[in-house]
Amino acid sequence: MHRRIAILGSTGSIGTTALRVIDGLNGLPKDKSPRFEVVALSGHSNIKLLAEQVRQYRPKYVAVSDADCVEEFRRQVEGLDVKILAGPEGLTKIAELEQVDTVLAAVVGVAGLQAVLAAVRKGKRVAIANKEPLVMAGQLITTAAKKYGAELLPVDSEHSAIFQSLSAGRHDEVAKIILTTSGGPFRKANPAGIPDATIEQVLAHPVWRMGPKITVDSATMMNKALEIIEARWLFDVPAEKIEVLVHPESIVHSMVEYVDGSVIAQLGYPDMSLPIQYALTYPARVPGSAKKLDLSRLKTLTFEKPNPEVFPAIEMGFEAAKKGGTAAAVFNAANEAAVEQFLAGNIKFGNIVELVRRCLDNCNAKTDASLEELLEADAWAKKEVTECLKNQRTGSKKQRTQNTQRKQLHG
């Protein structure tokens, strides 16, 4: 069997791991795995790596989503037979190419939304790591997938585990879905100190090596909050049937409890190559590079309920999942904007969750929202975060001026 793949976000953590997985699959005997032809790749601004990938994989198409980087990229791949598509539209174009049957969505953030929708509307297999579009527009994406016969296969490790565990029973036999989380870098930290955590402390995830945005999300626990909404749409389960458990060893990637009390889980060492590979070869299971699990060496697996004082984001995630519609879009967008500000050094770590809370409280929540309404909600929340910060800055500037005046007055 021959599969023709487009990787959206090939220069990222998931994208580069996926290319390694494809190398492994293409190196297996022909009867053991489908062959993967890399038809298209995309990157944003890491042009050097993208050009290296083009030289190695010889895709027919490349999308450079940051239009400012296109000229430099063109110079770097001069002489190679590759069609270059510029800007966000380029990403959408490679997602709907006729020559492509499988799209791996591995862009970070809502920037991947239009491309995911385009691939789904063309009825392709969409292996989806890019969770933000599902959080913002899960209802639209899953409805379109049914309508156009697209296969939406989860890459997020928890959702891959749930997907695998769901084959043990019928949908109406599911009692609940148990999402696990490592607890991130601050599981055992003193709650009082967490809001002042530095970028370095936040980026030091104890288990996973990932892109910067999801690493920050894992520290705030926003990642788990987003994953609650992701699960709600991917598996068509209400938020009330989803539970979160902290599991620091990160061996049980998630579980499904059935009405008879049986709990089905998927286990493995933390390694994204496994869920990526499964989404690409599904329904086949083929030999892969992931290290085989040795439970006798691990001995203990522990689970605990998340402490809401340390991780208020989880409750917010449930709230946004129940409200759905524009509330989920606002929740996601406010987080994206706040994380960007944190990584730029403009706000404290603790401000991320505060800003998201504020946007969620102030938004006009509407269920069954159209794509236009969701895009509006996304833009509103991103603007709201900027406005809050502007007001805070003028507020603290005013405060500083008043303090100086007071000092001058009182000598």
Closest-CA residue to 5 (of 332, 276, 228)? 276
Q: Which stretch binds ligand NAD (CB under 6 A): 11-19, 249-257, 322-330, 347-355?
A: 11-19
- Residue 20 or 400: the one with the smaller Cβ distance to ligand NAD is 20
Residue placing its CB nearer to ligand NAD in the complex, 168 or 371: 371
- Of 166, 210, 225, 280, the one binding ligand NAD (CB under 6 A) is 210
* Cβ atoms 231, 177 nearer than 8 A: yes
Give 3-state DSSP helix, strand, coil % of the chain, rounded to 5: 55, 15, 30
Which of 37, 101, 132, 378 binds ligand NAD (CB under 6 A)? It is 132
Site string for Mg ion, 143-162 (x = CB under 5 A): -------------x-x----
| DSSP string computed for 181-219 | E---TTTTS-TTTGGG--HHHHH--SS----HHHHHHHH
Site string for ligand NAD, 153-182 (x = CB under 6 A): ---x--------------------------
Closest approach, Cβ 46 to ligand NAD, in A, equals 6
Examine residue 272 and tell whether it contacts ligand NAD (CB under 6 A): yes
Cβ distance 235 to 166 under 8 Å?
A: yes
- Taking the C-alpha atoms of residue 256 and residue 254, their distance in angstroms, rounded to an integer, is 7
Minimum CB distance to Mg ion, residue 213 (Å): 13
Which residue's beta carbon is nearest to the bound ligand NAD? 12
DSSP 46-77: -HHHHHHHHHHH--SEEEESSGGGHHHHHHHT
**Secondary structure element (H or E) that encloses residue 138, with its range:** helix 131-148
Q: How far apart are CA 93 and CA 130, in angstroms?
A: 17
Smallest gap from residue 158 Cβ to Mg ion (A): 5
Those residues whose C-beta lies under 8 Å from the C-beta of residue 305, and which sit 6 or more positions away, are 245, 246
332 binds, among ligand NAD, Mg ion, none (CB under 5 to 8 A by kind): none
State yes or no: residue 378 binds ligand NAD (CB under 6 A): no
- Considering only residues 55 through 94, tell me which ones interact with ligand NAD, judged by CB under 6 A: 65, 91
Does 44 engage in binding with ligand NAD (CB under 6 A)? yes
Nearer to ligand NAD, 129 or 353 (CB): 129
91 binds, among ligand NAD, Mg ion, none (CB under 5 to 8 A by kind): ligand NAD
- Which residues of this protein are in contact with Mg ion, per CB under 5 A? 156, 158
